[in-house]
């Protein structure tokens, strides 16, 4: 097994790529829409409503997650998500010291990913695209958003348990199946919450916007901590219960 330092760097780089390409795709859609029809009223991906928009964003996430899992999974397991790390820790599959290092690396990587996208796309990525920050759509309450994020992350973690954690899973398919699952979830609930499923994914753009003068979404950031962590925890314990051999 690679050293904790190397595994943490892999988590940092993997999460950085996730946030650069995933939220980056959302920011690009907002920037393109603004160029075509003038500045948007809202500067978060809650502004996007068309199914085609969310399908495109979901595809971007699916591709980058698949790439990161196949590229770095053998080094760190490619958690690239604090909710996944916390769920594995809670189910005694991952040591606490490693979990802390992973989560710090994921958060730093997420912030770097947002900053690198800003450097690539310019200030419009912040002021118009909001760096792809997540926020509930109009009419979606705080608790509705938490429920959607909980359900979405439950599905994601359930798939991770079945195809990546369970030793009985057929080898070689985890990256593809997990990536496609994320893409499908985003297509379905993206129009409600932005479909984070990942506290780090929301942390990078939210803090990046705060530092660079973009929209302030920190007031809704707890949604993207509570929902994903709760969904991942329910999934890991449900999986252990339902597949337990009597």
pLDDT digits (tens, 9 = 90+) for 69-81: 999 999 999 999 9
Give the dihedral of Cα atoms 144, 147, 153, 157; nearest 10 deg: -170
The pLDDT of residue 34: 77
Residue 72 host element (H or E): helix 51-76
The pLDDT of residue 44: 55
The pLDDT of residue 42: 45
Specify the CATH number for 4-242; select among 1.10.10.10, 1.20.1080.10, 3.40.50.970, 2.40.50.140.
Answer: 1.20.1080.10
- What is d(CA 28, CA 121) in angstroms, rounded to the nearest whole number? 9
The pLDDT of residue 169: 85
- What is d(CA 226, CA 237) in angstroms, rounded to the nearest whole number? 17
Instruction: List, for the chain, all residue ranges whose pLDDT scores fall below the cut of 70.
Output: 36-49, 245-246
């Amino acid at each position: 097994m690679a050293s904790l330092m190397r595994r943490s760097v892999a988590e940092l780089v993997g999460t950085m790529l996730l946030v650069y390409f995933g939220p980056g795709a959302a920011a690009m859609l907002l920037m393109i829409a603004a160029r075509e029809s003038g500045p948007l009223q809202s500067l978060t991906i809650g502004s996007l409503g068309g199914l085609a928009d969310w399908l495109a964003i979901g595809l971007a996430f699916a591709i980058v997650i698949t790439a990161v899992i196949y590229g770095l999974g053998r080094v760190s397991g490619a958690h690239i998500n604090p909710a996944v790390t916390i769920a594995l820790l809670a189910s005694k599959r991952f040591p606490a010291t490693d979990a802390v290092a992973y989560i710090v690396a994921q958060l730093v990587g997420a912030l770097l990913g947002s900053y690198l996208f800003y450097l690539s796309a310019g200030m419009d990525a912040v002021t118009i695209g909001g760096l792809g920050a997540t926020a509930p759509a109009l009419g979606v309450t705080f608790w509705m958003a938490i429920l959607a994020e909980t359900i979405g992350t439950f599905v994601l973690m359930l798939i991770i348990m079945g195809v990546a954690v369970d030793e009985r899973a057929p080898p070689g398919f985890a990256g593809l199946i997990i990536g496609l699952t994320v893409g499908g979830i985003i297509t379905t609930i993206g129009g409600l919450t932005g479909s984070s499923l990942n506290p780090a994914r929301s942390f990078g753009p939210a803090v990046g916007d705060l530092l660079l003068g973009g929209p302030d979404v920190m007031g809704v950031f707890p949604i993207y901590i509570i929902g994903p962590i709760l969904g991942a925890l329910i999934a890991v314990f449900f999986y252990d219960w339902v597949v337990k051999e009597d």
